[in-house]
Structure 1
Amino acid sequence: MNTLYIAEKPSLATAIAKYLGGFTKSKTAFEKGDTKVTWCYGHVFATVEPEEYDPKYHRWTISDLPIIPSNWILKPRADAKEQVKAIKEMLQWADVVIHAGDPDREGQLLVDEVLEYYDYKGTVKRILINATDNTSLKRAFDSIMENSQFKNLSQAGLGRSKMDWLLGMSGTRLYTLRYQHLGGKGKLNVGRVQTPTLALVVNREHEIVNFKEQKFFDIHATISVDNEQFKGKLVHEGYIVEQSEAEALMSACKAAGTATIKEWSVNDKKEAPPLPYSLDSLQGYMNKKAGWSPKKTLDITQKLYEMKYVSYPRSDCNYLPMGQYSDAHDILDAISRGSTLPNDFSSHANTSLQSKCFNDKKITAHHAIIPTCEAPSGLDADQQLLYDEIALRYILQWYPAMEFTETKYVFSVASEDFSGRSVFIRDKGFKALIGSNKEDEDTNDVSVAQKDVTATTGDSVSVSDVDYKEGVTKPPKRFTEGTLLTAMANIHRFVSDPEFKEKLKEIKGIGTPATRSTIIAGLIDNGFLSLDGKSLRPTALGEELVKHIPSIITAPDMTAKMELSLMDVEKGTTSLNAVMSEYESFLKGLVESETAIFAQPPKIEGVECPVCHEGVLILKKGSKGPFWGCSAYAQNGCKAVFSDANGKPAIYECPDCHKGFLKQRKGSKGTFWGCSNYPDCKCTKEDAKGKPKL
């Protein structure tokens, strides 16, 4: 039985062939007897451009929108034609195909579309490879499934592809035509994920620019209870903005000397280790720690994956399957031999513990990014830095939670209430390895105790200190590449509708782990965003684009709603046809909402049309050369046409009828000027160096 493996990319095909052993490599496949391993280069097919569906789409017009193909057409990418041809021949040879695309929507779709394009009728199996070390590959080969089990995943990927094409093609044309109709110049590129991502940065910039600083004063009092110090912040409605008021309150509290306990609650708590990394969380951390762009983090993680040292990189999951619990000893051993972390980090890990990261219910097509059982060697500095970070996060899963006692309290001094929080750490647990993150903790409002302390409501205690500090309100921070990526992954935070916000927590943001960094890089490369150090700022072009595109496109709601629909397709609770029908209706509604604007003459700077007085004269190209025509032709049918005179319209009123205008014409005896009102007016004038001789 002839068996053909189709991998998503050459590196994965190489890993499969090496694992199976005994293959000979040709230009397009690995071969051994009745088995071949070939590869795609990601998506090897692309949806054709609108004009390939119908030549009329060469010309951009509102009447042709939205563009919705009745039958979608794919064609091989120009740089993949040779490989596609080879795959076609191998499919004719194969009795069984084993689909080895990456374990996600895109990986499922890109191999499925090859099989569908060539109408493959044989048996199709599916192998999910989350890492390319031998242990992971053996687990994958032991769990080969029917490809039909993943039809919904493929359909969701297809829906995403179609939605992106529809909005990209129709939206770009619609809003470019609208923009130009209102007097703008240039093209407005619209993307289902790109545009709301850009709008996040533009809107944040507006918040910063419009922010008004306000000076304020915070007052803190410290009380002594059982020889421990507890700091509290004045509970005050609004800001204290006058220094004299702050000084008066401070003096009154100092004079009082004692405080009365009003509330005192003590709770024992635990803080579990942070979960292993998803791609989003890894990119965000490395941007903050090392200043890496999301793309750099992805590229290096991909390289480590191809070197068999970490698992599949394009993961949106922070959890691990229970089946990998038993790998802990081998992975920790590989870390101890291949990382630059202290050896006791691995040796002191307690593999009898079970981290909350082991949860089969949280696993989708792939799991969190973790080290494999292969010990790295020969890594460069950046590869080592990233590997160590992934390794450390895995090691933490085998350390206990930090245990602490949290005390929340309110006390009254001179009739003023102060509130605060105290923490007594009983067991550092995993924090012994990584310490506390001081940046995330407002130490002015948190006291650190050295023991458990109890107090009772009504107790009178001494006031050991009262002070005030001057501060200034701060605007929101600009996005970095890392925080913007986090915003895309947690888009529900930017939705105002409470009910919709809650529902959006079910999805994992807009875009995918594989595309988010590419989208951000594209916005920078195409001049919509610029980097100021680590901070992202919108350019004038980015501002202009968001300004002239309606909020239904720039707000994340629409894109997030579509992600929810695709999730329902993936779950099998709705069909792709139903989702696409709804999306096509949405696009038709977008076009209809703009018809009133196009019913008005374009707002274009230029010479007013002397015939209809509604439009302006715009330079056009004709079969006989350039000429000037009225911009209101589509609205009122004005057919005014004027000759071009060195880049300006040649406007000469007919001296005979005073209704028409003289137009330059060519006759049997040469160039002359005749009335546009011909044949009612037969006025003609000689040509004098490009002008009528009047």
Structure 2
Amino acid sequence: MIVQRDYDVKHFVKQKFFTVELDCGTFVASSERIDEEESAKNIAESCSGKTATISEIKKEIKTVNPPKLYDLTTLQREANRQYGYTAQQALDYTQSLYEQKLVTYPRTDSQYLTEDMEQTAADLIQTICNTISCCQGLSIPEPNVKRCINNSKVSDHHAIIPTAEIAHKKLADLPDGERNILNLIAAKLILATADPHRYEATKVSVICENHNFSATGKAILNAGWKAFEIAIKEMLKSNEDTVKSGDEKTLPPLEKGQVFENVTSSVIEHYTSPPKPYTEDTLLKAMETAGNHNYDENADVEKKGLGTPATRAAILETLVKRAYIERKKKQIFPTAKGISLIAVVPDEVKSAQLTADWETQLQEIERGQCNPDDFMHEIISFVSDISGKYNEKAENAAFQTQRTVIGKCPKCGKNVVEWKKSFSCENDKEKCGFIIWKSICNKIISATQTKKLLEKGKTDLIKGFKSKAGNEFDAYLILKDDKTTGFEFPPRKK
């Protein structure tokens, strides 16, 4: 997934497109996307100085429900967005808080609480407002804890929330990382139990010279949980941009049939944007939902994907440790080694869909809905088919992409390539057997001298060989008649 995203970014070709903006005096309406600049100019010219009429006004009351509580993955994602923490760092900080009895069990995939926790959660809200710095001063008159209750969505562990122990701990003494994570967890309980955010969305359709334009606006009816979110983020002073309530775009009072004389028009140039490199936040989301193209983050659907909340951080850290991926600030990129690996791995194996399907079958086995023997039979057949189909192709690719050619084999004429401990013939299948060890008599033989040995049958004079008795000597390496290596000694000085 990371290699594919990197490829898409590097090979993205931006495309130019245009819109025509119609300035009606009190608001601006825009056309749909126009691909041809000449067409956009013609529309702008035909509308400039003419009369525009409002043909339709649509108003709709919309509701944005509060966010759910944290499971481990959503906590890791937000910690990355706001503080730049890696998934492993977020897990380590949360685990430490859990061991201090300040938060509940972290390795959970549930974002809900059980019915027996309703009163506990309600009592916690006031405790949070009294003890958590980013929530102090907030007034939550009637928190709706029932919104966070769903027994059917809690399997082994419920959502991550603070514990009552926060009232008895000097939170200012916590390390920054732990305190920041605790702030996020506490704030989420406040937001999840607050009122929904309600606004009126308005869309205005405008006609000018038989060309269609539109403008949209929002009017806040009840800020609800978003008011608390803005206040909390300002106090957190996180790295994430804070959304100001005043940034909402509004429209003036308008009526259907209203006419605007002598409007002005202009052509606006746009470019399509490339996909963005993965961050830990967006990659965790992609891992969580891989193989489920219809996944809705806000819907109560079964999650399937790569790994589990408890293992995703370790997967990323392993890829970094093995130098397949690297972090550059918040972004994640593949290394040359990672790109080379994906280039030779069969499509069937590197498919995120395949792994996600296996994860789903393992969940079904756990619930008794799938026979483990059938699953293992499928895996064995799959591995057998893949091995037979790609084994020879992969070996050849490995030789071509990973081994440096030193010269021609004096026994069979194929390439002699460099390995970790030797320079050997690539013709291993026919067991050519030609080999020159890199270390001979405690002396490292360079690739340069090996090339001379293959080309001329003899190296330069190499100094510093050491016999078994520990005596040093100088000699030429030579190829003997049987194509093994031997020594030729320089004449002794009289």
Q: TM-score, normalised by structure 2?
A: 0.75
Bigger relative contact order (CA 8 A; separation at least 6) = 2
Distance in 2, matches of 1:483 and 1:674, equals 61
Post-superposition shift, 1:294? 1.8
Say if 1:300 and 1:383, in contact at 8 Å, map to a contact too: yes
1:395 aligned residue: 190
2:33 aligned residue: 236
Q: 1:620 to 1:368 in 2, by over 3 A?
A: closer
Report matched runs for 1:271-670 at 5 Å. 271-345=64-138, 347-351=139-143, 353-374=144-165, 375=167, 376-378=169-171, 379-435=174-230, 447-449=249-251, 455-456=255-256, 459-462=257-260, 466-492=265-291, 506-597=302-393, 605-609=405-409, 612-613=412-413, 615-617=414-416, 630-634=425-429, 637=430, 639=432, 641=434, 647=450
Post-superposition shift, 1:418? 1.7
1:201 aligned residue: 2
Post-superposition shift, 1:292? 1.7
Post-superposition shift, 1:275? 0.9
Q: Indicate the larger mover: 209-218 or 556-565.
A: 209-218
2:44 aligned residue: 250
Distance in 1, matches of 2:141 and 2:454, equals 86
What are the Cα deviations for residues 500-538 of structure 1, in whole angstroms up to 9, with x where unaligned? xxxxx7333211112212222222233222222222222
Q: 1:259 to 1:552 in 2, by over 3 A?
A: same
Post-superposition shift, 1:311? 1.1
Post-superposition shift, 1:592? 0.8
Q: 1:370 to 1:349 in 2, by over 3 A?
A: farther
Post-superposition shift, 1:465? 6.0
Distance in 2, matches of 1:303 and 1:593, equals 48
Q: 1:220 to 1:367 in 2, by over 3 A?
A: farther
Task: For residue 370 of structure 1, give the secondary structure of its aligned residue in structure 2.
Answer: coil
Say if 2:407 and 2:455, in contact at 8 Å, map to a contact too: no
1:662 aligned residue: none
Specify which of 53, 58, 66 is matched with residue 259 of structure 1.
53
Q: 1:313 to 1:406 in 2, by over 3 A?
A: same
Q: TM-score, normalised by structure 1?
A: 0.55
Task: For residue 219 of structure 1, give the secondary structure of its aligned residue in structure 2.
Answer: strand
Query: In structure 2, what residue type is equivalent to 1:585?
Result: S
Q: 1:651 to 1:440 in 2, by over 3 A?
A: same
Distance in 2, matches of 1:447 and 1:380, equals 40
Distance in 1, matches of 2:265 and 2:214, equals 13
Query: In structure 2, what residue type is equivalent to 1:202?
Result: V
Say if 1:399 and 1:429, in contact at 8 Å, map to a contact too: yes
Say if 1:279 and 1:513, in contact at 8 Å, map to a contact too: yes
Say if 1:527 and 1:542, in contact at 8 Å, map to a contact too: yes
What are the Cα deviations for residues 606-663 of structure 1, in whole angstroms up to 9, with x where unaligned? 44445555x4346899xxxx998753352xx46465788964666999xxxxxxxxxx
Distance in 2, matches of 1:545 and 1:673, equals 37
Distance in 2, matches of 1:380 and 1:582, equals 49
Q: 1:440 to 1:414 in 2, by over 3 A?
A: farther
Post-superposition shift, 1:322? 2.0
Supply the RMSD in Å over aligned alpha carbons: 3.8
Query: In structure 1, what residue type is equivalent to 2:32?
Result: V
Say if 2:425 and 2:432, in contact at 8 Å, map to a contact too: yes
Distance in 2, matches of 1:628 and 1:221, equals 73
Q: 1:598 to 1:522 in 2, by over 3 A?
A: closer
Query: In structure 1, what residue type is equivalent to 2:129?
Result: S
Post-superposition shift, 1:460? 4.4
Q: Which runs of 5+ in 2 are unaligned?
A: 234-239, 296-300, 458-477
Report matched runs for 1:171-186 at 5 Å. none
Q: 1:527 to 1:652 in 2, by over 3 A?
A: closer
Say if 1:629 and 1:639, in contact at 8 Å, map to a contact too: no
Q: 1:250 to 1:600 in 2, by over 3 A?
A: closer
2:470 aligned residue: none
Query: In structure 2, what residue type is equivalent to 1:481?
Result: E
Q: 1:314 to 1:600 in 2, by over 3 A?
A: closer
Q: How many residues align?
A: 434
Specify which of 191, 211, 232 is matched with residue 12 of structure 2.
211
Distance in 2, matches of 1:267 and 1:281, equals 30
Q: 1:575 to 1:673 in 2, by over 3 A?
A: closer
Q: 1:328 to 1:466 in 2, by over 3 A?
A: farther
Query: In structure 1, what residue type is equivalent to 2:147?
Result: K
Distance in 1, matches of 2:353 and 2:146, equals 35
Task: For residue 265 of structure 1, give the secondary structure of its aligned residue in structure 2.
Answer: strand
Distance in 2, matches of 1:401 and 1:556, equals 36
Post-superposition shift, 1:572? 1.0
Task: For residue 552 of structure 1, give the secondary structure of its aligned residue in structure 2.
Answer: coil
